């Protein structure tokens, strides 16, 4: 999208990323900024900013990853005025502490989503979606092929494969992102009454979740002496040393809707459980916000075309970042 198409937006401008007019707050820009809103603590959304605005849980996770940094913690649903602009953080449903940003100035309003998920989660706050005049949204799964199975179906699939592996005297090793997915998988698998072991990096994040009152069930830090029946949760790409113990590897990712995912991840099985909204979830968000204009980030251009075909004034911000998987 060319700069002139949004030069007249009263609440934001684009300068290698989203910046709010009036307050100068940079929004989820992963490069050092004087003042930045961080929607959540995944590595592609954080940097060593001079001052960060975020929720208390995101602050704890941000500092776990980058060390002690200056933060201004804002609880959900408590509006504040910064630089003449009113901002409110609302739950995004993506991972613990993840937030949408509602920006209000006089008669104008803007909602920025970052990564989000509608519906229930085992370990994240349920998303709250307000109306707004302008919507800036992530659109990771913005292709109609990215329709995920019902959450209960994906969870049942994961549990069934873990139980099957244990019955075959295989050790199920699950690869899940250290922040967000690994906590949800830990909580889900506690239903099976199997010992759960987690990589030390995941354990560090688990401890932050526990400090914020999120129940994950029982788990221990992984050691090479683990044998089935048990289950191990590791970050993607982590190595596992078990001697001659045969294992059964499972990737837990929304990209598992593409049957080639297990080959890309180098695993035996891939389960489509995601902490992002799928294609239908993205469309639902737009309907809920009912904006006059929509800007899409971090997804395929085809999503903008779909929104326009439905009558929305939709545009892309920045360059599309989504790979073609199909």
Full strand arrangement of the beta sheet holding 269-271: 220-221, 196-198, 231-234, 171-175, 247-252, 269-271
| Euclidean distance between CA atoms 127 and 39, whole angstroms | 13
Query: Residue ranges of the domains in the chain?
Result: 3-145+276-316, 151-271
User: 25: exposed, middle or buried (C-beta count within 10 Å: 0-12, 13-18, 19+)?
Assistant: buried
Question: DSSP label at 217?
Answer: -
SS3 annotation, 97-157: CCEEEEEEECCEEEEECCCCCCCCCCCCCCCCCCCCCEEEEECCCCCCCCCCCCHHHHHHH
CA–CA distance, 15 with 9 (Å, rounded to integer): 13
Tokens found for residue 9 = 């937006």
What average pLDDT is seen over the chain? 93
Nearest to 235 by CA among 204, 263, 213: 204
Tell me the pLDDT tens digit for each residue of 198-224: 999 999 999 999 999 999 999 999 988
Query: pLDDT (tens digit, 9 = 90+) per residue, 116-160?
Result: 999 999 999 999 999 999 999 999 999 999 999 999 999 999 999
Q: What is the pLDDT of residue 224?
A: 86
The fold of the 151-271 domain, in CATH, is Rossmann fold (3.40.50)
pLDDT of amino acid 110: 98
Sequence-ordered list of residues with C-beta below 8 angstroms from that of 217, at least 6 positions apart, any chain: 186, 187, 189, 190, 196
193 or 309: which carries more pLDDT confidence? 309
CATH number of 3-145+276-316: 3.60.15.10
% residues pLDDT > 90 (the chain): 86
Of residues 323 and 6, which shows the higher confidence score?
6
Angle at 274 (CA atoms; ends 273, 278), nearest 5 degrees: 115
> Rg of the Cα trace of the chain?
20
CA-to-CA distance for 12 and 214, rounded, in angstroms?
35
β-strand partners of 133: none
Q: For residue 321, what are the β-bridge partners? A: none
Give the integer Cα–Cα distance in Å for 233 and 249: 10
């Amino acid at each position: 999208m060319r700069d002139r198409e949004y030069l007249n937006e009263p609440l934001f401008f684009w300068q290698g990323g989203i910046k709010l007019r009036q307050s100068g707050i940079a929004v989820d820009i992963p490069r050092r900024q004087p003042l930045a809103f961080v929607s959540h603590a995944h590595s592609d959304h954080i940097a060593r900013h001079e001052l960060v605005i975020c929720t208390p849980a995101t602050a704890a996770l941000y500092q776990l990853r980058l060390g002690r940094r200056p933060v201004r913690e804002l609880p959900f649903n408590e509006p504040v005025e910064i630089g003449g602009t009113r901002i409110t953080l609302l739950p995004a449903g993506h991972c613990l502490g993840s937030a949408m940003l509602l920006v209000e100035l006089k008669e104008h309003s803007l909602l920025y989503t970052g990564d989000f998920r509608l519906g229930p989660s085992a370990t994240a706050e349920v998303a709250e979606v307000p109306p707004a005049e302008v919507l800036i949204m992530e659109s990771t799964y913005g292709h109609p092929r990215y329709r995920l199975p019902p959450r209960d179906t994906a969870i049942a699939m994961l549990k069934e494969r873990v139980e099957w592996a244990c019955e075959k005297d295989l050790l199920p090793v699950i690869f899940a992102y250290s922040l967000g997915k690994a906590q949800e998988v830990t909580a889900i698998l506690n239903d099976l009454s199997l010992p759960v072991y987690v990589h030390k990096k995941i354990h560090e994040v688990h401890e932050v979740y526990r400090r914020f009152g999120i129940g994950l069930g029982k788990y221990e830090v992984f050691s090479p002496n683990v044998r089935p029946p048990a289950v191990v949760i590791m970050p993607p790409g982590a190595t596992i040393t078990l001697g001659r113990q045969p294992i059964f590897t499972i990737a837990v990712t929304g990209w598992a809707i593409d049957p080639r995912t297990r080959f890309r991840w180098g695993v035996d099985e891939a389960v489509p459980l995601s902490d992002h909204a799928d294609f239908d979830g993205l469309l639902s968000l737009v309907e809920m916000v009912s904006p006059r204009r929509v800007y899409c980030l971090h997804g395929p251009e085809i999503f903008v075309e779909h929104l326009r075909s439905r009558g929305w004034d939709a545009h892309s911000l920045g360059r599309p970042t989504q790979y073609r998987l199909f």
